[in-house]
């Protein structure tokens, strides 16, 4: 059972555009929703995270939008740059459990 | 401050063998978690150790085991390797086992032939 569904699987965006990646979860006990960025040959690195008591969190060009009733959250990358080309993973967790990850989105920013 | 260090970087084993992977967490971090990353299944949680005790375990067979030493360094062992165990094994550490402060290493790429 896939508890966190991520889409799209791959995404191509022009430089300067907005990249949007979506995730949906099933377990209503989840209380922490991070996004990770992974470059080839490296481990995932935390990008931004949100808890369900807020609907939006912004850090620089990165924004998480959270819809608790729909059990969905998304990552928006504003003014996308070629250096943002990477694989992005959404994840969720609750309590002391480990992270449950989405399958990932391969993002390519074209110059 | 050094990051999470995993050794070796690459491993090639044959089916039926066993393998041990090593992880040195960030200095001062007491929790170590292990994840398996494959193209098909993505990132999956294996287990977490805190102060030498296993606190959580994911849905993996008993062939996957781990331990943590008093200096917080951790090892992961896979016995009776199967072709499907080929994956990138990632170690992550955090100061106090909270997932909000999880830092990943670059992983050990295991290939089972």
Tell whether A43 lies on the interface with B, counting CB pairs under 8 A. yes
- Residue A88 corresponds to which tokens in the numbers above? 């992005």
B58, B103, B106 member nearest A98 (Cβ): B58
pLDDT of residue A95: 80
Q: How many angstroms away from the CA of A102 is the closest CA of chain B? A: 7
A99:B102 CB<8 A: yes
Q: Is the pLDDT of residue A70 over 80?
A: yes
Dihedral angle over CA of B48, B52, B55, B58, nearest 10: 40
Q: What residues in A contact B44, CB-CB < 8 Å?
A: 101
Closest by CA to B31, choosing from B70, B71, B72, B65, is B72
Q: What is the pLDDT at residue B43?
A: 95
pLDDT over 70, % of chain A: 98
Q: Does A40 touch chain B (CB under 8 A)?
A: no
Q: Residue B21 is encoded by which pair of tokens?
A: 């992977």
The pLDDT value recorded for residue B36 is 97
For residue A30, what are its two tokens?
A: 């989840």
Q: What is the pLDDT of residues B63-107, one digit of tens each?
A: 999 999 999 999 999 999 999 999 999 999 998 878 888 999 999
Question: Which residues lie closer than 8 Å to B90 by C-beta, 6 or more apart?
Answer: A43, A44, B6, B34, B35, B36, B37, B43, B104, B105, B107
**Is A30 in CB contact (< 8 Å) with chain B?**
no
Structure tokens at B58: 């994911």
Please answer yes or no on whether A100 and B45 come within 8 Å at the CB atom.
Answer: yes
Dist CA A38 CA A19 (whole Å):
16
What whole-number distance in Å separates Cα of residue B78 and Cα of residue B16? 10
Residue A1 pLDDT > 70: no
Interface size between A and B, measured as CB pairs under 8 A:
52
Place of tokens 């924004």: A63
* B-chain residues near A100 (CB < 8 A): 45
- Predicted pLDDT of residue B58: 92
Closest alpha carbon within chain A to B107:
A43
Pairing of strands B108-112, B10-13: parallel
Residues B56, A98: C-beta atoms closer than 8 Å: yes
Quick one: tokens of A93?
């967790």
């Amino acid at each position: 059972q896939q508890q966190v569904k991520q889409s799209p699987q791959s995404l191509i965006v022009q430089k300067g555009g907005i990249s949007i990646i979506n995730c949906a979860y099933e377990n209503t006990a989840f209380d922490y929703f991070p996004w990770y960025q992974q470059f080839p040959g490296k481990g995932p690195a935390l990008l931004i995270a949100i808890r369900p008591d807020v609907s939006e969190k912004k850090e620089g060009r990165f924004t998480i939008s959270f819809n608790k009733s729909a059990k969905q959250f998304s990552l928006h990358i504003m003014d996308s740059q070629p250096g943002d080309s990477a694989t992005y993973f959404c994840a969720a967790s609750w309590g002391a459990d480990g992270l449950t990850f989405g399958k990932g989105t391969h993002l390519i920013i074209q110059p | 401050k050094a990051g999470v260090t995993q050794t070796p970087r690459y491993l090639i084993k044959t089916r039926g063998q066993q393998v041990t992977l090593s992880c040195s967490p960030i200095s001062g971090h007491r929790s170590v978690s292990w994840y398996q990353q494959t193209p098909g299944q993505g990132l999956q949680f294996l287990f977490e150790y805190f102060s030498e005790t296993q606190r959580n375990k994911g849905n993996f067979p008993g062939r996957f085991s781990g331990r943590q030493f008093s200096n917080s360094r951790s090892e992961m062992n896979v016995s009776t390797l199967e072709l499907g165990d080929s994956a990138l094994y990632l170690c992550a550490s955090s100061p106090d086992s909270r997932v909000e402060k999880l830092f990943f290493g670059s992983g050990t790429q295991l290939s089972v032939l």
